[in-house]
């Protein structure tokens, strides 16, 4: 999961970003609302963590712009204000959740899990592809009940494919998922991650397919009599 964190308190922002990276999230951190707006127009993010009192463009103005252009990306407001009126206004203009700082990382992770579950059609805690499973609570994979240990980048790729629910993801979308804005994206490295994942999934029912000119798709492997 790739997160855009918009926080003008540098120390707080860097601390929260590091805590999230320790949980294997890819996090971009910016301090100004206008810079965040530009990034959101250029790159794909799975979640926006948004402060309200930002320089150049307020968090509420950024949220309005996001929803006005039809972007349904989940947004969690992180703010020092516990004003009920402000909370209601933010929810009315399109926020998915509202947390008052200081934020406990465990609560934030729990709120993020709820949002991920909402995006899962069955609203379950588990996403499945054959006998491959992704637990949305722990973000851990298993094959036929056995844990599947993956390095962070491979896990990010597989998580993105699983959460897409049978639709293809382009190379560019996957590159956006696994690399932050300060990192150099590499298509060659992405192909290596896909190759390694295929090897690790050989004994499972899940298969990563290459769709020429489109991207990659994960789907249950056909039995020999169905191929």
Q: What is the pLDDT of residues 111-142, one digit of tens each?
A: 998 888 777 655 577 888 999 999 888 889 99
The number of domains in the chain is 2
Domain membership of residue 225 (yes or no) is no
Do 100 and 175 lie in a common domain?
A: no
Do 85 and 154 lie in a common domain?
A: no
Average pLDDT of the residues in 61-90 = 94
Do 93 and 169 lie in a common domain?
A: no
pLDDT(224) > 60: no
Domain membership of residue 227 (yes or no) is no
Domain membership of residue 82 (yes or no) is yes
Domain of residue 12, residue span: 2-118
Q: How far is residue 164 CA from its own chain's centroid?
A: 11
Domain membership of residue 161 (yes or no) is yes
Do 32 and 137 lie in a common domain?
A: no
State the CATH number of the domain containing residue 193.
1.10.10.10
Cis amide linkage into residue 102, ω under 30° from 0 = yes
| pLDDT confidence of residue 223 | 53
pLDDT(52) > 60: yes
| Local confidence band at 75 (pLDDT 50, 70, 90 cut-offs) | very high
| pLDDT confidence of residue 138 | 84
Q: Other C-beta atoms within 10 Å of 38: how many?
A: 12
Tokens 């926020």, located at residue: 95
Do 84 and 160 lie in a common domain?
A: no
Domain membership of residue 68 (yes or no) is yes
Do 63 and 148 lie in a common domain?
A: no
Contact call for residues 204 and 143 (beta carbons, < 8 A): yes
Do 157 and 107 lie in a common domain?
A: no
Last-in-domain residue among 118, 142, 177 = 118
Domain membership of residue 78 (yes or no) is yes
Q: How far is residue 94 CA from its own chain's centroid?
A: 18
Question: To which H or E segment does residue 78 belong?
Answer: strand 75-79
Domain membership of residue 79 (yes or no) is yes
Task: Indicate the pTM of the whole model.
Answer: 0.81
């Amino acid at each position: 999961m790739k997160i855009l964190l918009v926080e003008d308190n540098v120390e707080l922002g860097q601390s929260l970003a590091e805590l999230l990276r320790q949980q294997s999230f890819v996090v971009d951190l910016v301090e100004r609302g206008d810079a965040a707006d530009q990034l959101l127009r250029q790159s794909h993010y799975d979640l926006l963590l948004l402060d309200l009192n930002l320089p150049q463009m307020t968090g509420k103005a950024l949220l309005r712009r996001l929803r006005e252009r039809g972007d349904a990306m989940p947004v969690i407001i992180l703010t020092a204000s516990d004003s009920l009126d402000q909370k209601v206004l933010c929810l009315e203009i399109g926020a998915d959740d509202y947390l008052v700082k200081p934020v406990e990382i465990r609560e934030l992770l729990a709120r993020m899990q709820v949002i991920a579950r909402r995006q899962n059609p069955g609203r379950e805690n588990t996403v499945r592809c054959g006998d491959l499973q992704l637990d949305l609570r722990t973000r851990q994979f298993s094959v036929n009940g056995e844990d599947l240990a993956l390095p962070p980048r491979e896990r990010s790729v597989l998580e993105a494919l699983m959460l897409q629910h049978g639709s293809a993801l382009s190379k560019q979308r996957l590159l956006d998922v696994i690399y932050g804005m300060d990192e150099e994206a590499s298509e060659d490295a992405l192909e290596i991650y896909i190759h390694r994942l295929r090897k690790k999934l050989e004994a499972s029912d899940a298969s990563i397919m290459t769709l020429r000119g489109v991207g990659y798709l994960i789907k249950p492997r056909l039995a020999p009599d169905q191929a």
